[in-house]
A = this chain, B = another copy of it.
Amino acid sequence: MKEKEFINTIKTVLNSSYIGDDCAYLEKLGVVITQDNLVEDVHFSRDFITPYQLGWKSAMVNISDICASGAEPLYLTVGLSLPQDINNDFVKEFYIGMKDASSGVEIVGGDITGANKIFISVAAIGRTFGRKISSRKNAKVGQKIIVAGVHGSSSAGLRLLMNGQKEPEKFIQAHLMPSAQVEFSKKIAENIKEDYAMMDTSDGLADALSQIAEASGVNLEIDFSKIPFDEDLKLFEDYENLIMFGGEDYGLVATVGDDIAKDFTVIGEVKNGSGITIIYQDGMRKSFTKTDIENRIFNHF
Interface of A with B (CB < 8 Å)?
2-3, 5-7, 9-10, 13-14, 16, 18-19, 22-24, 26, 28-31, 33-37, 39, 41-43, 74-75, 77-82, 84, 88, 91-92, 95-96, 99, 106-117, 119, 121, 123, 125, 127, 300-301
Query: Would you list 6 pairs from A and B whose C-beta atoms are within 8 A, ordered by A residue?
Result: A10-B91, A13-B99, A16-B107, A18-B106, A79-B79, A114-B300
A215 to chain B, nearest CB (A): 15
B9-A91 in contact (CB<8A): yes
Q: Which of B24, B39, B88, B109 contacts A9 (CB 8 A)?
A: B88
A25 to chain B, nearest CB (A): 9
Contact A39 B123 (CB under 8 A): no
Q: Which of B5, B110, B113 contacts A43 (CB 8 A)?
A: B113
Q: Which of chain B's residues have a CB closer than 8 A to the CB of A3?
A: 112-114
Chain B residues within an 8 Å CB radius of A116: 41, 116-117
CA distance A106 to B25 in the complex (A): 12
Minimum distance in angstroms from A114 CB to a CB of chain B: 4
Q: Verify A75–B24 contact, CB threshold 8 A.
A: yes
From residue A247, how far is it (CB to closest CB) to chain B in Å? 13
Q: For residue A18, which residue of chain B has the nearest CB?
A: B108
Contact (A109, B35) CB under 8 Å given A29-B29, A115-B119: yes
Task: Flag if B9 contacts A92 (CB, 8 Å).
Answer: yes
Q: Are B42 and A113 in contact, with the CB atoms below 8 A?
A: yes
Chain B hits for A112, CB < 8 A:
3, 6-7, 10, 37
**6 A-B pairs with the lowest CB-CB distances in the bound complex, closest first:** A121-B121, A24-B108, A18-B108, A123-B123, A24-B109, A79-B121
What's the nearest-Cβ distance from chain B to residue A64, in Å?
Answer: 13
Q: Which residue of B lies closest to A10 (CB)?
A: B95
Q: Given A18-B109, A113-B300, is A35 in contact with B121 using a C-beta cutoff of 8 Å?
A: yes
In the assembled complex, the CB of A89 is this many whole angstroms from the nearest CB of chain B, namely 9
A96–B14 Cα distance when bound, in Å, is 8
Q: Which residues of B contact A91 (CB under 8 A)?
A: 6, 9-10
Q: Which of B10, B13, B35 contacts A123 (CB 8 A)?
A: B35
Chain B residue nearest to A300 (CB atoms) is B114
Residues of B within 8 A of A106 (CB): 16, 18
